[in-house]
Amino acid sequence: MFGLSIGYGTDVGARGEVAFRYRNAFGRGLDMHSALQADRTRQIGYADFYLPPGTLGMPLLRTVATKDSFGFLGERTSNQGLDTRRAAVAAYRPVFFEKGRGSRGPQPTRPSRPSPRRREVAEPRAGALGQVTWRLVDNVLNPTRGGVLNVHLAGGGKSFGSDQDFLKTYAQYQHWFAISPVDQLILRAEAGYTIAPSREGIPEDFLFRAGGSRSVRGYEYQSLGTREGDAVVGGRYLATGTAEYVRWFSPSWGGALFVDVGDAADAREDLNANKGYGVGVRWRTPAGPLAIDLAYADRDRRVRLAFSVSVAF
């Protein structure tokens, strides 16, 4: 089965995807999902192979559903003066249970050649250790009350070929408050810390940048980070937050006021409270509320248009 899609976003501009799915890969009953994707900041090709669903006995959770998979990808990114190359091999074991989802690895990768203005560094090896998503909302695609928590852990070690030992930790929480049948307050916070003596030798995938329609609005996509020459590169610290008020004037259309704040940096003392604030329009769609925002970046003193599907899933 083939699929073709095109789109446009304020973060990355025009984008396209060609996808192919084959339900009996290698004649082994493997469900293959593969695609080629491209936009102005990122080009990626991947193939994931899903095994038939199974079950797993876990303490406290009894029997839970699983669907193991493995895959391969190649990726090139270029944004804010930073070019990277990555090839990866991954294996996943997602665990599905009531009101949440988790996954565990290992997911070994051989990532990135970060090269600010083409400066090449060594290629460390690293892997994702696990991810947990907890949901308690009244509607998965159009929530009005409840919260979603995402927690990620990833790391690498010298004994596995990395240049240094490190552990990436990340968490995001978003909560919807129904103030009235037509008024809504949305609060979001995210924090990340890559535990290591320095950022040297750590792949960009395991560091942090901020800015864009899903982060601190008003700032260019991934423009908040550590300055290295003419490039913005990832740092070991991330902290952002959002407060947003939405009023629905009809079942489909609403307006919003919001304030975003945050930064990414390589030292905690270098984190700045970069503020972005503005107004927006909300349109309920089958895929979630579409957000169209005019955001003012206090540091840059300029207004930028941002739009996205405004559900943090």
| Model pLDDT, residue 310 | 53
pTM over 0.85: no
| Model pLDDT, residue 313 | 40
Mean pLDDT of the chain: 85
| Model pLDDT, residue 312 | 42
| Model pLDDT, residue 140 | 86
The reply to whether CATH 2.40.160.50 applies to domain 56-309 is: yes
Res. 66: pLDDT tops 90: no
Res. 242: pLDDT tops 80: yes
| Model pLDDT, residue 211 | 96
Res. 278: pLDDT tops 60: yes
The pLDDT confidence band at residue 157, using thresholds 50, 70 and 90, is confident
| Model pLDDT, residue 151 | 95
Residue-wise pLDDT tens digits, 89-135:
888 777 665 555 555 554 444 444 444 443 333 344 556 678 888 99
Range of lowest pLDDT (22-31, 124-133, 276-285, 302-311): 124-133
Q: Which residues contact 101 (CB under 8 A, 6 or more apart)?
A: 94, 95, 132, 133, 135
Half-sphere exposure of 128 (CA within 13 A, CB side): 21
The Cα–Cα gap between 89 and 70 comes to 8
Average pLDDT over residues 65-88: 87
Instruction: Give me the amino acid identity at 161.
Output: G
- Taking the domains of the chain in order of start, what are their residue ranges? 1-50, 56-309
Res. 143: pLDDT tops 50: yes
DSSP secondary structure, 209-253, as one string: -B-STTSSTTS-TT-BSEEETTEEE-BSEEEEEEEEEEEESSSSE
Structural Rg of the chain based on CA atoms: 20
Residue-wise pLDDT tens digits, 159-206:
766 778 899 999 999 999 999 999 999 999 999 999 999 998 888 889
Long-range contacts from 103-109, C-beta under 8 angstroms, 24+ separation: 103/130, 103/131, 103/132, 104/129, 104/130, 105/129, 105/130, 107/154, 108/160, 109/203, 109/205
